[in-house]
């Protein structure tokens, strides 16, 4: 189903909400004003200046100035979907899960409504690079950095707010998988904020400000930071990035704006309050890198089913050549092994199911055993996690060659409603219908 793209206002926020911090409500010139004055957003500013030109020459013809400029500009909301799903993923992520402060269902509902209103307004201001006075000065002097703030709701939030009847069937709990080693200190949560920005300080400042908006209404539950290739360093900012195993990760992902993407990602049918929304699965997946590095390049390629350098399927061609799953090597073996990751996840073997993967690498130092605690913070938007993530992971957990080299350590599932109605807030249709 194709989704309508209708304009919406940048999260209506005519007057700064009284925030209880005692700070003045008057706005100071935001980052957009600062940057506009300095010429950073236009041609001839830093983006198009000497540094950019030097990088451009070194990187070769695939680099486009426009893509670099866009990576530092503000994201303009304009569809019925929340930002942070279809855009090119900026280099830095702060993912923060929250729990609502305990109260009666009615009080929790009121608190949830207030919090979603506050986050929607603050998110709109921050994305427009026009932070209100309470936002501090952390990100002053930095470009808008394609900041996006995306708000998710866990099934537990609806239960606590007395809205159990409104919990979408798509939020059915993700089952435990045999190889899971989930850390009880991470995972789940009543609410989630996915904050992405090209600059890490911009992401951190937004996360901090949004955290202050939660005071008295919700408390932090767990946080995961992530990163991926920066537009400034990439030869081609739109090229498929590499993960920490060195593979091109994201090659075969539905393209935003296509019917295939709409069908795979946006919520379909009921409930009505999820119109324009999607379901987000988050999995923290540790990579057992010391073990991975011990196997040969050919062995690593067989695990995935693609060559490491070009990302081409082992059946031949280039990165975007369709895999030929029946192709055989000279000695008669399947070119893409039976347990290769891309075979088990390919729509041909998953009843045609796809999802939009938007994950980030993470590196949290060492785990308790001294192994690198680094890997993939897997984020995937989908129409229905029951038929997408859960169905595919059920197969992967049983048969994926990659399983030997990874460990799922956290899991969470959120409903990500559509964009806020003009002057309203994310989730309004749920709370006021
Ligand atoms: C650390 C864990 C993982 C790593 C390193 C990894 C890596 C990769 C790589 C390198 C590819 C091939 C390139 C591409 O199309 O992006 C791929 C494809 C894919 N992966 Fe993973 N993956 C991981 C976990 C998962 C999980 C948990 C799922 C879902 C349950 C998943 C679903 C997919 C899908 C759907 C594709 C595309 C298949 C296709 O359409 O051809 N991956 N992954």
Give residue-wise pLDDT tens across range 12-70: 222 222 222 222 233 333 444 333 332 233 222 222 222 222 333 344 444 478 888 88
pLDDT of residue 39: 29
In whole angstroms, give the CA distance from residue 203 to residue 408: 25
Question: How far lies 241's CA from each of 237, 296, 300, 359, in Å?
Answer: 9, 22, 17, 11
Question: Which SS3 state, helix, strand or coil, does residue 282 take?
Answer: strand
Where does 154-236 show beta strands of DSSP type E?
A: 191-197, 218-227
pLDDT of residue 210: 97
DSSP 9-62: -SS--SSPPP-SS----PPPP-HHHHHHHHT-SSTTSTTTSHHHHHHHHHH-TT
pLDDT of 4 strictly over 50: no
Q: CA dihedral defined by 241, 245, 247, 252, rounded to 10 degrees?
A: -80
Question: Which SS3 state, helix, strand or coil, does residue 163 take?
Answer: coil
Catalytic residue numbers read 249
Spatial contact of 157 and 190, defined as CB atoms under 8 Å apart: yes
In whole angstroms, give the CA distance from residue 309 to residue 251: 13
Q: 51: CA distance to ligand 1 center in Å?
A: 35
pLDDT band at 129 (very low <50, low <70, confident <90, very high): confident
pLDDT of residue 140: 87
Spatial contact of 313 and 306, defined as CB atoms under 8 Å apart: yes
In whole angstroms, give the CA distance from residue 230 to residue 91: 5
Q: Residue 425: how many CB atoms within 10 A of its CB?
A: 25
Query: What is the arithmetic mean of pLDDT over 296-304?
Result: 98
% of the chain at pLDDT higher than 90: 78
Spatial contact of 328 and 335, defined as CB atoms under 8 Å apart: yes
pLDDT of residue 135: 75
In whole angstroms, give the CA distance from residue 300 to residue 181: 23
User: Positive or negative, the Cα torsion across 179, 185, 186, 187?
Assistant: positive
Pick the atom of ligand 1 nearest to 250's CA: 16
**Stronger pLDDT, 44 or 260, i.e. the higher one:** 260
Q: Classify residue 386 by its DSSP letter.
A: T
In whole angstroms, give the CA distance from residue 337 to residue 325: 8
Question: How far lies 426's CA from each of 232, 409, 418, in Å?
Answer: 32, 29, 7
Tokens encoding 301: 């390629």
Query: What is the arithmetic mean of pLDDT over 257-275?
Result: 96
Task: Give the residue, by CA position, lying nearest to ligand 1 atom 11.
Answer: 249
Tokens encoding 372: 């690198």
User: Positive or negative, the Cα torsion across 204, 206, 211, 215?
Assistant: positive
pLDDT of residue 410: 98
Task: Please tell me the least confidently modeled range out of 47-56, 98-107, 167-176, 357-366.
Answer: 47-56
Query: What is the arithmetic mean of pLDDT over 389-398?
Result: 98
Length of the chain: 433
Task: Give the residue, by CA position, lying nearest to ligand 1 atom 39.
Answer: 346
For residue 340, with 0-12 CB atoms within 10 Å meaning exposed, 13-18 middle and 19 or more buried, which class applies? buried
pLDDT of residue 43: 27
pLDDT of residue 49: 27
Query: What is the arithmetic mean of pLDDT over 340-364?
Result: 97
- pLDDT, tens digit, for every residue of 174-198? 999 999 999 989 999 999 999 999 9
pLDDT of 387 strictly over 70: yes
pLDDT of residue 6: 26
Indicate the average pLDDT of the chain.
86
Query: What is the arithmetic mean of pLDDT over 356-367?
Result: 97
Residues 6 or more apart in contact with residue 210 via CB below 8 angstroms: 96, 119, 122, 123, 126, 149, 193, 195
pLDDT of residue 216: 97
Query: What is the arithmetic mean of pLDDT over 304-316?
Result: 98
DSSP3 helix / strand / coil % (the chain, rounded to 5): 30, 20, 50
Query: What is the arithmetic mean of pLDDT over 392-397?
Result: 98
Q: What predicted TM-score, i.e. pTM, was given to this entire model? A: 0.88
pLDDT band at 242 (very low <50, low <70, confident <90, very high): very high
Q: 401: CA distance to ligand 1 center in Å?
A: 12
pLDDT of residue 378: 98
pLDDT of residue 296: 98
pLDDT of residue 8: 27
Pick the atom of ligand 1 nearest to 252's CA: 15
Query: What is the arithmetic mean of pLDDT over 76-93?
Result: 94
Q: Within 6 Å (CB) of ligand 1, which residues are found?
A: 243, 245, 247-252, 283, 285, 287, 304, 306, 341-342, 345-347, 355, 375-376, 378, 389, 392-393, 396, 402, 406
Tokens encoding 402: 């990659």
For residue 67, with 0-12 CB atoms within 10 Å meaning exposed, 13-18 middle and 19 or more buried, which class applies? middle
Task: Give the residue, by CA position, lying nearest to ligand 1 atom 24.
Answer: 378
């Amino acid at each position: 189903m194709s989704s309508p793209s209708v304009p919406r206002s940048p999260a209506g926020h005519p007057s700064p909400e009284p925030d209880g911090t005692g700070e003045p409500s008057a706005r100071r010139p935001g980052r957009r004003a600062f940057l506009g004055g300095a010429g950073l957003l236009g041609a001839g500013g830093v983006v198009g200046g000497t540094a950019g030109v030097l990088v451009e020459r070194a990187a070769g013809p695939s680099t486009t100035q426009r893509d670099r400029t866009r990576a530092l500009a503000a994201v303009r909301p304009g569809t019925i979907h929340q930002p942070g799903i279809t855009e090119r993923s900026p280099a830095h992520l702060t993912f923060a899960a929250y729990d609502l402060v305990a109260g009666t269902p009615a009080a929790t509902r009121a608190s949830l409504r207030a919090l979603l209103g506050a986050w929607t307004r603050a998110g709109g201001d921050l994305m427009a690079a026009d932070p209100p006075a309470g936002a501090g000065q952390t990100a002053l002097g930095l470009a808008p950095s394609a900041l996006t703030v995306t708000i998710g709701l866990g099934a537990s939030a609806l239960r606590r707010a007395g809205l159990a009847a409104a919990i979408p069937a798509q939020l059915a709990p993700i089952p435990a998988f045999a190889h899971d080693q989930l850390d009880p200190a991470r995972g789940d949560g009543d609410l989630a904020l996915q904050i992405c920005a090209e600059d890490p300080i911009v992401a951190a400042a937004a996360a901090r400000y949004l955290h202050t908006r939660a005071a008295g209404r919700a408390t932090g539950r767990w946080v995961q930071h992530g990163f991926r290739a920066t537009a400034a360093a990439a030869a081609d900012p739109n090229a498929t990035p590499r993960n920490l195993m060195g593979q091109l990760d994201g090659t075969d992902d539905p393209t935003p704006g296509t019917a295939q993407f709409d069908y795979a990602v946006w919520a379909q049918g009921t409930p009505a309050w999820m119109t324009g929304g999607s379901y987000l699965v988050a999995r923290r997946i540790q990579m057992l890198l010391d073990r991975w590095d011990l196997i040969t390049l050919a062995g690593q390629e067989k695990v995935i089913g693609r060559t490491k350098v070009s990302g081409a399927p082992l059946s031949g061609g280039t990165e975007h050549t369709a895999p030929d799953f029946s192709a055989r090597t000279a000695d008669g073996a399947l070119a893409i092994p039976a347990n290769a990751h891309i075979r088990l996840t390919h729509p041909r073997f998953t009843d045609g199911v796809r999802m939009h993967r938007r994950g980030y690498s993470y590196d949290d130092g060492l785990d308790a055993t001294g192994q690198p605690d680094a890997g993939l913070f897997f984020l995937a938007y989908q129409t229905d996690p029951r038929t997408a993530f859960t169905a595919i992971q059920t197969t992967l957990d049983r048969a994926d060659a990659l399983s030997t080299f990874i460990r799922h350590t956290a899991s969470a599932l959120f409903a990500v409603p559509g964009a806020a109605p003009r002057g309203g807030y994310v989730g309004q249709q749920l709370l006021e219908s």
